[in-house]
Amino acid sequence: MKLTFATRPSALARWQTQWVIRALQDIYPDLLCEEKVIATQGDKILDTPLPEIGGKGLFTQELEHELLSGTVHCAVHSLKDLPVESPGELTVGCIPIRGEVRDVLISKHGLTLEALPQHAVVGTSSLRRAAQLLAVRPDLNIQPLRGNVDTRLRKAIDGPYDAIVLAGAGLARLGLLSYVTQWLPLEVMLPAPGQGALAVQCRKTDETTLGLLGGLDDISTRNAVIAERAFLRDLGGRCAVPVAAYAEEGITMTGLVISTDGKKAIKVKGEGTDALQLGSQLARAAISQGANEILALGDVT
């Protein structure tokens, strides 16, 4: 049996795909796997913030096209980049055990978020990160930051930024944790729905591939991200909005909707046994407290 994986060209995307391949081959030693590298619009357009060019779906569309055409069996995504609504012919065949969920601060001068000078320039193109940074440090000058992990690190060290914020999972996977100045606590920086988790997408009708991928599925991670993505979906479903969520085993979840300037925030918490129901329930709670008004403000700024 042979599986062909679609993957983006970045070092992190390749690492994630190769990790999935190795994990599958540990379970199925006779399984043959190969990669097909595909550059997405998100990889090609690097001079514009993601919210202005369509959001994180730009990292997945070409890979999904390859799946739909039948030229590949699987596509490996960072789950936080995968839109909550996907083509009906596709499904997430497995969600492996989750990695690090926290974001990190990287400062060229080794300063923590609290110690950065007044009006320090901080790089991120994530509305979620920018809003939460401004909630605790409204003086900060938030500037766009695009590119793969290596490019962002180079900009942090040699560029105009006093600090940048990145997902810790990517740095951990690439062996780059030595660059981390500060792990941002969840009380300060709640992650994006699905952050730290991988999703392996395949065709719904491909029962052979689904059977193989099932061996990598982690039920605790799947339940957590189902709750987080249900929260995002019921708030409008767009990856580029300032929405954060984190669910833990149990399931207990915290969800956040925050204005892009960090001045208005709605935080909701709950627990339950049905992940989908919990995410939807917390989204309704956030809406009842004015979440839609906050998100509408973000659409016009």
3 state SS of 121: strand
3 state SS of 96: coil
> CA distances (Å), 113 to each of 172, 189, 208, 243, 256, in order?
20, 11, 48, 21, 20
Both structure tokens of 269: 């918490």
Q: For residues 264 and 207, is the Cβ–Cβ distance under 8 A?
A: no
Q: For residues 128 and 238, is the Cβ–Cβ distance under 8 A?
A: no
DSSP β-bridge partners for residue 243: 257
Catalytic entry in 26, 30, 47, 81: 81
**In angstroms, rounded to a whole number, what is the distance separating the alpha carbons of residues 240 and 36?**
27
Residue 299 annotated as catalytic: no
Q: Indicate the DSSP class of residue 71.
A: S
Residue 119: CB atoms within 10 Å: 10
* The pairing of beta strand 32-37 with beta strand 90-94: unpaired
Which of the residues are catalytic? 81
